[in-house]
Structure 1
Amino acid sequence: MTKTDATPFDWRPFLLRWSGEWADSLPDGAGRGEADEAARRDRWLGLAPASEKQIAVMEERLGRRMPPSYREFLEVCDGWRHAGGFVRLLAGTADAHWHDDEYGLASRYEGRLDDDCGPDQRRAAGIWRRGLQLDVESQATVLLDPEDVDEHGEWAVYVWASWQGTEPRRYAHLAEFMRDMHRQFHSLHARPADGEPEFANDTTRELDARMEQARLEALRGEWERAGHRLDEAKEYGRPRAAGLGDQIRRLLGQAHMVYFEDVVIDPRYAPELLPVLVADHAAQSYRDDSTLEYHLRGAGDDVLAQARATLEQVRGGTYRYTAAGPFGEAVVRARELARWGDTDGAWRTLADALPLWQPPGPDLLAPLGWVADPLLGTLLTPERGRELLATPRGGQSGEAPDPAAGLDPDDLAWLADLSPHGNLTSYRFVLVEDVEPEDLPGRLADGAGAVLGAPLNHDEARLLIHGQREFSSYGDQAHVAVGRAGTRWSFVFDGDPPYFDPQRFVSPAATAGAGTRAVVVWNGLRDWRGDPFFHLSVAQDGAEQYAFTYADGEVRRTGEIPGALDPDRFFGSGEECAGAERSLLEAVTGEFGVRLPRHALTVGRLHTFTTRSWRQPPRDGEGYAVITLS
């Protein structure tokens, strides 16, 4: 019950229903005490109602008038058996008494209070000295708080058990506590053991009907309403409720405590749900697979074998999501877009095909396996998850949602927005016109380096660089990400370059621009390792057209630089270079009509390779050092 007004809670029908459900849940012939046997026979868990005189005597003994919901409860039953799974007897008028710190917990909780504690924590700490104890036979302590009173005179209920955590759980009033104990009773009996009767009653039938409503609502795009219904059914322990609700939660970006219970072990849904469960497990627990097996309890051998194979693929980076029908065809197109950095286009491809998706059975609410795909999984954001969930699918009709906003600006200037403490305060990139991304290694690398590696995210690429075994004092081979930089341009990008050496730097623009046009940018205007610098060079048909380098407070230039890129516009005499980075990036965007994909470079995965050195090799007679790590 939620007390939003003074309307009393109707205790009798609620308690009658609970009593009947409890009686029906008991196996025939099981040994039980006399009181429980009488309760089963009478289909009533309560003691006889308390008279007004009994209530008055109790209140005189305790020195306080009882709160409305407790008084109304006593008028229906003067005590209650089996309140949930851990309170065997709840007090009536004779047994309720002041707790008076019976277990010596007050000093423990009061000793934890400090200046940062709020009023709720301070009030809860004092419950042990002033609370009215309602549990008589119990594994938990149930206390009414006479100082935590709402506008209707209701006393809050605090419940504490040593195995439930350190803080007592608070309920607004007794009726709210009892309804939760009814849910707990259902949750504990929802899966009968061998020999127990089927747990089916009016409450379970109502909840299962609401779950079916929720399933259809979810497919129509009404995911919030569906989620509320499924959460309610989950609180009552209804089978499949958690497995259905977890699908919604995971698409909202929530991975903690999401296990797709019951549904994931069904062979029809395992191809979509297992990869997500496995990928989340691999991200949290690298080698201890016992928890994964626990969450797949009840699965058949075929599903367990599939889980092990998928886990091996996820850990090896080889898992690839596939789907049937038109949606599966869209998955192939989306992966191709994503692997070259067009994550906005990849998302729109998936989202536009979603109405054509068909589930393999009634308990799959949306395609989910793509979330575990190394390329496609990075497309998911909470906003996109909400768009997916709001899209009618699976043969259901409804209103299409507004598309989620794209994540990639149509320019280069976003590079200047990154925090000075981020990874991209110094960066360099090459833009090549009318050349496909997969052809860039042939222009910028030699030998084994001219091979595209598997797509990596920024952190994985850094680990690969840090695993390098040989270093030279002149070498500067860049490990670059590759992708498309607009409708006619491709790029390579290095977000972790060494410090710029203007004396030995060799621009790769000429070799990259053989038979076309190429642009090189190296920015270090926020590089903490030394003085600010910036380099731009442009080549056409294998020959450098123009270039400038700002370093040591001076500008060196070659060729005829277009007015829009003239360094005097950005680095005037005696001026600070603050703000020059953004202006320069905007000018390069305007001059060449290029962009870089922010989401793919900062969050997603892109193919990589290692370029030739960006520094001159040693001249005759110059010394250098090579360090090899064994």
Structure 2
Amino acid sequence: MTDSTAFDWRSFLLKWSGEWADSLAEGKTLSERDETARGARWLGFPAASEERIAAMEERLGRRMPPSYREFLKVSDGWRHAGGFVYLLTGTEDARWHNNASGLADTFEAYLDETAEPEQRREADLWRRALQLDVESDVTRVLLDPEDVDEDGEWAVYTWSSWLAEPPARHADFTAFMRDVYREFHSLQAHRSDEEPEFVNDTTRTLDAQVEEARLEALRGDWEQAAKTLDEAKGYGRPRAAGLGDQLRRLLGQTHLVYFDGLVTDPRYTPDLLPPLVAEHAKHSYRDDSTLRFHLRGADDDLMAQAHATLGRVRDGSYRYTETGPFGEAVERARELARWGDSDSAWRTLMNALPLWEPLGPDHLAPLGWLADPVLGPLLTPERGRELLSTPRAGQTGEAPEPTADLDPGDLAWLAEPDRGNNRTSYRFVLVEGAEPEELPGRLADEAEGGEGGEADGDGYGTVLNQPMTFWELHDRSTRNRREFSSYDDRPLMSVGRAGTGWSFAFDGHPAPFDRRRFVSPAPAATAGAGTRAVVVWSGLRAPGGKPFFHLSVAQDGIEQYAFTYAEGEIQRSGDLPPALEPSQFFGDVEDRAVAERSLLEAVAGEFGASLPRHAIVNGRLHTFTTRSWTRPPRHGETYAVVRLS
């Protein structure tokens, strides 16, 4: 809502008119009407009297909204309302549109019985609204008498055929005129080099505000900086978009973020190009025809650099590096993140952020790490706000409160439904006293790896694969396989640290559980190691009505105890600790979620281990393929093998 009584129409329109006149190149041929306007430095017309306004209202049968009436008292119409409306009506030419364009029929043709009331109102706009445009580039300006606020203001809708978008809404006539004034400025800011530079009091004021916003952003006051930059961007000020895009990207807003004017500057390319390319890779599906559009103004050398970076992003080999103390913190953070300790990795980056050095004056924050396959998943909107709120680059200010940790430090989160309810079954191995790099040597079948246990294309052997996401892991575990059997179960598992003293291997999409052929990997994981291993396989929420849960614990290559709950029965072996006694969890098997959570809490309490939720669900972790979790068929048992050529 705009307070029309407080708005100084005369000063606003005079300033606009003067800036328009000064923007015209000397010797430019104009129409007679525009030549008159340039000479008078006035885009308007004589003011409309109250009697003239009242006569218009009587003709139209409605009292006009306050802001439009106040405008008419200063100028009875307007030339060049933005870049695409050449003449805006005054009291004489204002008329009800009455579907003169036929657009009501066009919009209604897209409606069906499921159309929302708002969609029907949008289509009916062309029958009920007052048309204000007289001459335009296929652009309509409509005052809507049914979209009225508490002050009697009518909303203004604008629509251009060449935009292929629904009508844009402006709160009232004042808001509309201010919007098209910004549009005028934006178009002038992008004029050709042959035209005179567009400089005036408005542009100088906005540019000074952009500079202050830059300093505010570095001091941590990003919210105020973002508002200022968005306003200046609306006027087309050259630095505003590139600065504002840096803030938006760290807030997780990736749409239409191009770091305009900065990514093509060699000073900033090393840090801004990777996240731009990474976002392209996420949505391009190997179609790179739009990459040059996103890199507006890029020369051939920059495009070659972009494609090289794109290749590294796609194959997972891109690695973000920095210099100085902040660069050292980046390396420590990556080492923590690649084993699943997302919270410590983030805190390491934040503690070192005040030491970060920008590549130039318009560099507001480090962004290259967003393209790093291990560091990039650390970002959340909350963390982005923390980063932007932290003073940096030599600026001072109050440090923000740290964001809450993302990992709960337990196992019970596995019992919570995930987005899309995909995690209905999972399994994991916890190994005590072993580093994550050691797990392939303990759990993989070295015979599958060729000489020296080297990993092949499917990840067999004793070498870890490059980090991958949960969904990449799931895709790779099936896409590269050429042989499937009904007994062989070699999962591709993520690895990392499971709290103090423990490492884990995790499979979020396990094969069906067959307790007759299941072989726990716990003994093999501890053979000759002088340590313990814990295996959990849960399907308490598995579809099909056949819940199951398995726990086994081994030490020094020997299984100490185990139990399996399946088909309503409990099978057990060894001397189970009281905290893990299965009968206490399966008294009421109808409430599977409660049983699952209680079991996971008991396992975590018994062994002091946890699994990193954020890294498993949202991050990237190293993987390897284990030996089979099922035994080979015995004499007389049948099985099937499918081989793909």
TM beyond 0.5: yes
Does structure 1 residue 542 correspond to structure 2 residue 557?
Answer: yes
The Cα offsets for residues 137-177 of structure 1, whole Å up to 9 and x where unpaired, read as 11212222334333333333222222233532222322211
Which of 474, 488, 493 aligns to 2:506? It is: 493
Contact 2:415 2:593 in 1 (8 A): no
In structure 2, the residue corresponding to 1:536 is in which secondary structure?
strand
**1:35 Cα deviation from its structure 2 partner:** 1.7
Distance 1:595 1:30 in 2: 73
Does structure 1 residue 85 correspond to structure 2 residue 72?
Answer: no
Does structure 1 residue 130 correspond to structure 2 residue 128?
Answer: yes
**1:470 Cα deviation from its structure 2 partner:** 1.2
Q: TM-score, normalised by structure 1?
A: 0.95
Which of 67, 91, 96 aligns to 2:94? It is: 96
Residues 213, 543 of structure 1: alpha-carbon distance in 2 compared, 3 angstrom cutoff: same
Contact 2:589 2:595 in 1 (8 A): no
Residue 585 of structure 2 aligns with an amino acid whose one-letter code is: F
* Equivalence for 1:229: 228
Does structure 1 residue 482 correspond to structure 2 residue 495?
Answer: yes
Residues 63, 326 of structure 1: alpha-carbon distance in 2 compared, 3 angstrom cutoff: same
Does structure 1 residue 169 correspond to structure 2 residue 161?
Answer: no
Does structure 1 residue 581 correspond to structure 2 residue 593?
Answer: no
Residue 504 of structure 1 aligns with an amino acid whose one-letter code is: R
**1:120 Cα deviation from its structure 2 partner:** 5.2
Does structure 1 residue 556 correspond to structure 2 residue 571?
Answer: yes
**1:296 Cα deviation from its structure 2 partner:** 1.5
Which of 489, 512, 517 aligns to 1:504? It is: 517
Distance 2:210 2:593 in 1: 58
The Cα offsets for residues 59-80 of structure 1, whole Å up to 9 and x where unpaired, read as 4443444333223222222221
Which of 456, 474, 497 aligns to 1:462? It is: 474
Q: For 1:232-311, list aligned pairs within 5 A.
A: 232-311=231-310
Contact 1:546 1:558 in 2 (8 A): yes
Residues 136, 420 of structure 1: alpha-carbon distance in 2 compared, 3 angstrom cutoff: closer
* Equivalence for 1:331: 330
Residue 509 of structure 2 aligns with an amino acid whose one-letter code is: D
* Equivalence for 1:528: 543
Residues 196, 440 of structure 1: alpha-carbon distance in 2 compared, 3 angstrom cutoff: same
Residue 462 of structure 1 aligns with an amino acid whose one-letter code is: H
Distance 1:213 1:561 in 2: 67
* Equivalence for 1:404: 403
Residues 124, 528 of structure 1: alpha-carbon distance in 2 compared, 3 angstrom cutoff: closer
Distance 1:626 1:171 in 2: 66
Residues 233, 629 of structure 1: alpha-carbon distance in 2 compared, 3 angstrom cutoff: same
The Cα offsets for residues 280-337 of structure 1, whole Å up to 9 and x where unpaired, read as 1111112332321012222344432321211111122211111121111111111111
Contact 1:191 1:199 in 2 (8 A): no
Residues 574, 121 of structure 1: alpha-carbon distance in 2 compared, 3 angstrom cutoff: closer
* Equivalence for 1:593: 608
Distance 2:588 2:325 in 1: 60
Contact 1:341 1:600 in 2 (8 A): yes
* Equivalence for 2:456: none
**1:259 Cα deviation from its structure 2 partner:** 1.2
Deviates more, 1:128-137 or 1:248-257: 128-137
**1:125 Cα deviation from its structure 2 partner:** 3.7
The Cα offsets for residues 414-449 of structure 1, whole Å up to 9 and x where unpaired, read as 111125963322111111111111011111112212
The Cα offsets for residues 239-284 of structure 1, whole Å up to 9 and x where unpaired, read as 1211111111111111111111111111111111111110111111
Residues 530, 451 of structure 1: alpha-carbon distance in 2 compared, 3 angstrom cutoff: farther
The Cα offsets for residues 370-406 of structure 1, whole Å up to 9 and x where unpaired, read as 1111111111111111111111111111111111111
Residues 172, 622 of structure 1: alpha-carbon distance in 2 compared, 3 angstrom cutoff: closer
* Equivalence for 2:13: 15
In structure 1, the residue corresponding to 2:495 is in which secondary structure?
strand
Residues 475, 203 of structure 1: alpha-carbon distance in 2 compared, 3 angstrom cutoff: same
In structure 1, the residue corresponding to 2:135 is in which secondary structure?
strand
Residue 243 of structure 1 aligns with an amino acid whose one-letter code is: G
Which of 63, 73, 76 aligns to 1:75? It is: 73
Contact 1:499 1:529 in 2 (8 A): no
Q: How many residues align?
A: 628
Contact 1:420 1:526 in 2 (8 A): no
Residue 346 of structure 1 aligns with an amino acid whose one-letter code is: A
What percent of counterpart residues are identical? 68
Deviates more, 1:512-521 or 1:479-488: 512-521
Does structure 1 residue 603 correspond to structure 2 residue 618?
Answer: yes
Residues 351, 10 of structure 1: alpha-carbon distance in 2 compared, 3 angstrom cutoff: same
Residues 418, 192 of structure 1: alpha-carbon distance in 2 compared, 3 angstrom cutoff: same
In structure 2, the residue corresponding to 1:263 is in which secondary structure?
coil
Residue 43 of structure 2 aligns with an amino acid whose one-letter code is: L
Residues 75, 518 of structure 1: alpha-carbon distance in 2 compared, 3 angstrom cutoff: same
**1:528 Cα deviation from its structure 2 partner:** 1.9
In structure 2, the residue corresponding to 1:547 is in which secondary structure?
strand
- When the two chains are superposed, the root-mean-square deviation of aligned CA atoms in Å is 2.2
Residues 574, 592 of structure 1: alpha-carbon distance in 2 compared, 3 angstrom cutoff: closer
Deviates more, 1:617-626 or 1:244-253: 617-626
Deviates more, 1:158-167 or 1:21-30: 158-167
* Equivalence for 1:38: 36
Contact 1:83 1:181 in 2 (8 A): yes
Contact 1:266 1:299 in 2 (8 A): no
Deviates more, 1:536-545 or 1:44-53: 44-53
Distance 1:136 1:472 in 2: 74
In structure 1, the residue corresponding to 2:290 is in which secondary structure?
helix
Residues 577, 166 of structure 1: alpha-carbon distance in 2 compared, 3 angstrom cutoff: closer
* Equivalence for 2:197: 198
* Equivalence for 1:185: 184
Q: Which runs of 5+ in 2 are unaligned?
A: 450-459
Residue 444 of structure 2 aligns with an amino acid whose one-letter code is: A
**1:224 Cα deviation from its structure 2 partner:** 0.7
**1:115 Cα deviation from its structure 2 partner:** 7.2
Distance 1:322 1:429 in 2: 33
Q: Which runs of 5+ in 1 are unaligned?
A: none
Distance 2:487 2:118 in 1: 64
Deviates more, 1:505-514 or 1:384-393: 505-514
Residue 467 of structure 2 aligns with an amino acid whose one-letter code is: P
Distance 1:65 1:423 in 2: 59
Residue 454 of structure 1 aligns with an amino acid whose one-letter code is: Q
Distance 1:471 1:346 in 2: 39
Contact 1:512 1:542 in 2 (8 A): yes
Distance 1:100 1:208 in 2: 44
Residues 152, 428 of structure 1: alpha-carbon distance in 2 compared, 3 angstrom cutoff: closer
Contact 2:170 2:176 in 1 (8 A): yes
Residues 516, 530 of structure 1: alpha-carbon distance in 2 compared, 3 angstrom cutoff: same
Residues 574, 283 of structure 1: alpha-carbon distance in 2 compared, 3 angstrom cutoff: closer
Contact 1:517 1:540 in 2 (8 A): yes
Q: TM-score, normalised by structure 2?
A: 0.93
Residue 563 of structure 1 aligns with an amino acid whose one-letter code is: P
Distance 1:407 1:220 in 2: 26
Contact 1:8 1:69 in 2 (8 A): no
Residue 89 of structure 1 aligns with an amino acid whose one-letter code is: L
Residue 623 of structure 2 aligns with an amino acid whose one-letter code is: T
Residue 465 of structure 2 aligns with an amino acid whose one-letter code is: G
Distance 1:420 1:32 in 2: 61
Residues 325, 569 of structure 1: alpha-carbon distance in 2 compared, 3 angstrom cutoff: same
